[in-house]
Amino acid sequence: MQETWHLEPNYKFKYMNIKNLTLTLLTLVALNACVSKKKFTEKQDELEQTKDALASAREQNDLLNEDLEEMQNSVASYNNRIKELQSENSEKLEVLEDGSVMNDASKEAMRKTLTNVDKKKLAAAKTLKDSVNLAIAYNIKKALTEDYGSNLDDNMLNVQVSQPVVKITISNRILFESGSYKVNNKATSLLKRVSNMVKKEANMDVMVEGHTDNKKVLRGSRVKDNWDLSSERATAVVRIMESKFNVPGERLIASARSEYLPIGDNNTPQGRQRNRRTSIIVIPDVQKFLSLMKSK
């Protein structure tokens, strides 16, 4: 008779519990392995990002160090240049209102010049720039009148400087005969010196103004009125400066002012004589200065 085995109910239950427990443990181990791998991957990514940030920071630091070195070299170069200039000229420099500078030697030369300037004019100089303008005007007049000696007072020839404008006022007694617009031969050397002076200033124009007194032109004269006379005189001076002394025509301006800008009293002979004059004004050519700025 064949024997038959039968599992006890408790034993079967225990077997199922062990099986389930084993599956649970395996699942937990697998899950834990997945979580650990994910964290490891995240840490690896963070590490790579940190390495990239560190490399970028080092690159920026290298660039900053290069800039710093370049700035230090520039400062050293400037300091060396300053030392060179100080060694070349140890004299004190003074900056004027217009930005120009004067050293002690220039100021000493100016002081010597100003000892020759009219005391009333000198008393009116309120600033260093005013004094400089007076000294320049004195030297210009001295250069222009070398052929005339010291006989030309301010009523005959006057120079005014208000940098960068120079105004040279010449009595028509020097330039013309009464009622005439033909330039005297004796005025040729003066106009030559004026022309040579203005040719040195390439960015300056020259305006020649004709002025008269208020006396009417005589009937039968070559000119119609004071407008005509002042225009003809200004044009005559311009023609000589261009044709004889080679001042470029495009830099010359002939202007007629007639009797309307008097500097003397037209009721007196002396005042009318002062009013009969020709002014040569050297002025900046604004268009040329603008073109220079555009080209830079």
pLDDT in tens, 253-295: 999 999 999 999 999 999 999 999 999 999 886 555 455 445 4
* Encoded tokens for 19: 């099986």
What is the Cα–Cα distance from 259 to 226, expressed in whole angstroms?
A: 7
Residue 223 has pLDDT above 50, yes or no: yes
For the ranges 91-95, 121-125, 134-138, 190-194, the maximum mean pLDDT occurs at 190-194
Q: Residue 279 forms beta bridges with which residues?
A: 169, 209
Which regions of the chain carry the CATH code 3.30.1330.60? Answer: 150-294
128-144 vs 104-114: helix axis angle to the nearest 10? Answer: 60
For 9-26, the pLDDT digits (tens) are 555 545 566 666 666 666
Of residues 219 and 244, which shows the higher confidence score? 244
pLDDT at 168: 95
What's phi and psi for 103, nearest 5 deg? -95, 175
Instruction: Share the mean pLDDT of the chain.
Output: 80
Give residues with Cβ within 8 angstroms of 244, minimum separation 6: 188, 191, 192
What is the Cα–Cα distance from 212 to 245, expressed in whole angstroms?
A: 26
Instruction: Please list, residue by residue across 128-139, b when 16 or more beta carbons sit within 10 angstroms of its beta carbon and e when fewer do.
Output: ebbbbbbbbbbb
For residues 122 and 140, is the Cβ–Cβ distance under 8 A? no
What's phi and psi for 145, nearest 5 deg? -105, 20
Give residues with Cβ within 8 angstroms of 232, minimum separation 6: 181, 210, 223
Among 85-94, 176-185, 228-237, where is mean pLDDT lowest?
A: 85-94
For 159-210, the pLDDT digits (tens) are 999 878 999 999 999 999 877 899 998 899 999 999 999 998 878 899 999 9
* Encoded tokens for 35: 């979580």
Residue 51 has pLDDT above 70, yes or no: yes
Please, what CATH class does the domain formed by 150-294 belong to? Answer: alpha beta
Q: Please state whether the predicted TM-score (pTM) of the whole model is above 0.75.
A: no
